[in-house]
Structure 1
Amino acid sequence: MSKKIRNLFHKKIIFFCLLTCGVILAVYFSLKFSAPKKLPLSYSKSDPLPEIKQTLKKAHAFWDNERSDSAYFYFNKTRLLCEPKENYADYYVESLNYIAEILQRHGDYNEVETTLVKAFPYLDKTTNVKYAVNAYTFMAYNYHSTFDYEKALYYHKKALKKAFSTFRKSRIISEIAFIYMEQGRYQEAIDLLEPIAWLNIEDKITPSNTAFQRTAKLYNLGLSYLYLGGHKQEAFDCFNESLKVALTLNDDYELITCYYAFYKYYKKYNNPELKKINIEKAYYYAKKSNSKSYEISMLGYLIEADNAANSKNHFKAYSRMLDSLTVSRKKAKNQFADIIYNSQKDKGENLELKNLKVENELKLQRQKNRSYISYVVISFSLFILLFLIYHITSKSKREKNDAIFKSEMRISNQLDNELNLNIFQTLLFVQNNDLENKENKEMLLNNLNIIYSKTRNISRENSKIPTDERYLTVLKEMISEYKTENVNIILNGFDTISWNSIDKNKKIILYRILQELLFNMKKSDSSSLVSIIVKETGKKIAIQYTDNSSEINSENNILEKRLQNVENRIKTIKGTLNFDTALEKAFKINFSFPI
């Protein structure tokens, strides 16, 4: 027995090792062939730097000529050429900064934020801090335009930390002070501007910006004094100096804000005549600079500053200009939307052309990989199938051998329990009695007949049960064997059942159940009448077994032990079992199962 166990154990180890090896090989080949391979690009990619510079030059040319739509197209094209972005970070970030400024001028603030966010990861890779300063500054302008002053301050302060030149720092400080003014924090704005406003801080890169920045700082400081109050002379001095500097610039656009500042000043200090004169000048320079938005704004203030008669005419002009500006802005917005769409379309077409050949090669490689994977999967599946066939066959053999062993042990125990005593008594009888005596000879024959009957019964109990047309006959014969002179068995309904329509396994189980019940009845040796009724109800077979056994309801009730096999057999065919415990001098059991 131990040798068989060792052999079985060794076989399991061998097949487990084979299965493990098969799984490892399958996983290895699957990973090898399914892993994406880096295919060499079949096209030669030249250095894009010359094209980047040429495209950026065109963008700046359109920008200088105030053709923002064309400038946007070429700045966007420059951005697309900067691949990889790490190698061309300066051009990439510069293009995004200009794109953000163009979008900002057209009021597309959401797109500005999206554009600048793309630039942030590459700010530290640029060779000049101006790119980072510009990116943070444009983001601050964007939040300022949407009235999110706290975020605007946050990005202005980030720009201030990055700024290197004194001029650039002073410009950012002026922007921060302007936001403080918007928030009503006038004293904080004054504290920032007072140390730098009167200084002539030079822009060494673009000297012309020096005077522009100085007039802006004086303008902001003057407004802060004006709004805070109590600084009438200081405000006037700032506005006056700002105007003097602006007059030297020969720039009509700067003069608009200077005269507008004096309009605000004389309005607060209640000088209607000078208030009107200064807003008229502001309106004049707005028209001269062809700034429609400023022209409409200044005309609105002029309506308030002029007399009633003139204000009526101003209002008519104001309405016409406002309608015209709305229409022109709508057209410009639509044209700009077309430019953005075309730029995005151009991006898609470029990417498609660049990757078309590579995609075709990838498709071919994927097809090869799929073929390899298919071979591996088929081989592995066959291996698993063969292993399962072997495993199921081995398991079936083991179960069959176990069943045979259990059957043999059960028959052996049954023979030992039921025949051992009879054989022993018969042998003693032969030894101790004269067999020539007629009575002794008859008694010996009677004992041998009892042994033969018990042996035959055991044989029949364990013999194969026919389930064909002979089933009913065999079933009745088995039942009749338990009928004796003292036990009468009544059968009812057996001939009304269509036994051929019942499953073979269920007929065998029914046979064994009735055999078990009758065996228990015979063993108790207290029954004289047995009734077995079979009915077909719907799609079920119902059996009622009754006997007048007196042992069932005794104190030493062994019902559960004796009928455990019956209950187990019923459950295997999804049947139900009920005991009638109300009877005092009889045993009754009802069970049914589906056909």
Structure 2
Amino acid sequence: MNIKSLTLLIILIVPALCWTQTDFKAKSDSLSFYLSKSQDEANTSDIRLEYAKKAKRVAFDLNDKSLLIQSNLNLSKIYLDIGLKENFLKSSHNNLKLTNKVKDTISTALINKDLGDYYYINTSDSAYYYYNESLKLYRALNDDFNTAVLLLDIAIIQKNEKDFTGSEISSIEGVSLLESLGNDNEVNKKKAFHYNNLGLVFDQLEQYEESIKYFKKSIELIQKLDGENKLALDVLKNNLGLAYRNSKQYDLALLIYRLMLKDDNLIKQDLDFYSLVLDNYAHTLYLSNQHEQLPGLYIKALKAIDTIKPTVYPSIAIHQHLAEYYFKYQQKDSAKYYAYKAKAISEQYHNDDLLKSLLLLSRIEEDSIAVNFFDAYIKLNDSLQKSERKTRNKFTRIRFETKQIEAENAKIAKEKVWLMLLSGILIITAMLLYIIITQRSKNKELELLQQQQAANEEIYNLMLSQQEKIEEARIIEKKRVSQELHDGVLGRLFGTRLSLDSLNMSSSMDAIKTRGQYIDKLKTIEEDIRKVSHELNTDFISGSGFVDIIKTLVDTQTEVYNLQYKFNSDDTINWEDISNKSKIHVYRIVQEALHNIYKHAQASLVDISFELKNDVICLSIKDNGVGFEVDKTKKGIGVKNMNSRIDEIAGTLYIESEKNIGTTIIITIPI
């Protein structure tokens, strides 16, 4: 890619990347803005809902699962706040599927907690189920604080359903977890709420000393908290007063209630709670036989609550207390009025208060009416006990299933450990086997190389032996030529020289004729010397050594394999220029080829030839065997070995074969 193209590519890509980043940042900023506006309680419900929906749409456009989960949680909360319960349930369950899909444990736990809060008022078993699901997740996350918070929610449900033992266990566990988290403000607040629940549980179990102890612990913690906690402190004081009253420590109970009622802010901050405290104070006076201010205080408490709504839940107890008071003083009409009023209101709220109202009417009414109310009381009491047992059994079953799941998870974890251990052993065993097999293979390869080296040494020794024979033949030939020169040529030259010396001084015709004969004789000797010189100049055994070795190999092998053979070697090939390494490989290739012909070809004749073409030795090995399909037949070890040797000497191998005609192997060896 040239500089111009690269520059153009950068010009195109960089703005796109910048635009993408800018667009992402803009949408992220929009999401934060919409979430902030939806959570601003200064806005109306409709505006908050619209912003929450916009936040969800932006999160969806960003294709970010975590942001979408966060937006869904926010939207669900607003649905619940403005009373769109069906929308809340649908949104929460859809979000739950998403968090499970992406394995967002924290958000899954939070959604289950929200669903538990939703069902808390009306459906305790559903609330218990979702709280328990959230509890399991927070346990898995080792989040002790939120685990303790969920244990508090569960403990309160257990107390309300009269599973007092279960509630006590849950709160004790919650306190134990909080104890390990120090003295943080929120930690101490949750610890105080657990103590309050324990105080209420022990009050119901009529273990008043324990109840008073836990209420005092709770009050002590709340008093140390930062911020405004007056209402929580007043509730705890009211509960402590009830524990004192139930344990017949009326003076202490009255002291607490008088101190509370002296606070002018009590009636301002919560009229419901004020009327409840005033009724508790009045009823404590009634139980301690201090009736001077009665029924005035009861009426005052009832009027205070009637200014809000005459049929709210706290008014049940006030009507029941007035009925008891008037019944004690034989004012039956007034007693019946307030008793029936208590029954009518309690039918809308809680069966325990309805049970008390039925029992009260069975005492106030007479004859068959009293009997009917008592029968209704017994029937409702039995129904409540069955319902409580059923609910407690359901709670137990949920806890059992949770423990069962935990046990199964522990079992699975144990099985995983064993599986990992066995897998590790198998992997190590496999590695050891691989090492052993690899080592054996290497040993075999080494052994094969050693055998090949030994065979090569054998061939090399054979070539040395042949070379020694050639050198020996050269020495014998030189000796023969030397003897011939000494005994033949030199003797004749010496005799001719003496004869010429004797004729040197004579000039007769006979002498001249004789000298001419001796000169011809010298010419003959000259031809003989030239011949000997020519023989000396031509190495009659040059290169014959290696060819003889190959011919000996072919002759021996074909005799063993019962084959006829033709052998031809180009005399122009100077084998002295070929390295010993190449000669050894050529020897082995010929040997391997003959072996393959014997083993596979079913041939009767083999033709082997060496030719020199353009400084390349061409070895051709041809047989008249059955032949084979070169492309379809798998290469055996023999051919692989031949290829390996050819590669060693930078040669080439070509195989041509035709069925029922034969096979030709052509090998080229560069000089």
TM-score by length of 2: 0.43
Higher relative CO (Cα under 8 Å, sequence separation at least 6) belongs to 1
TM-score by length of 1: 0.48
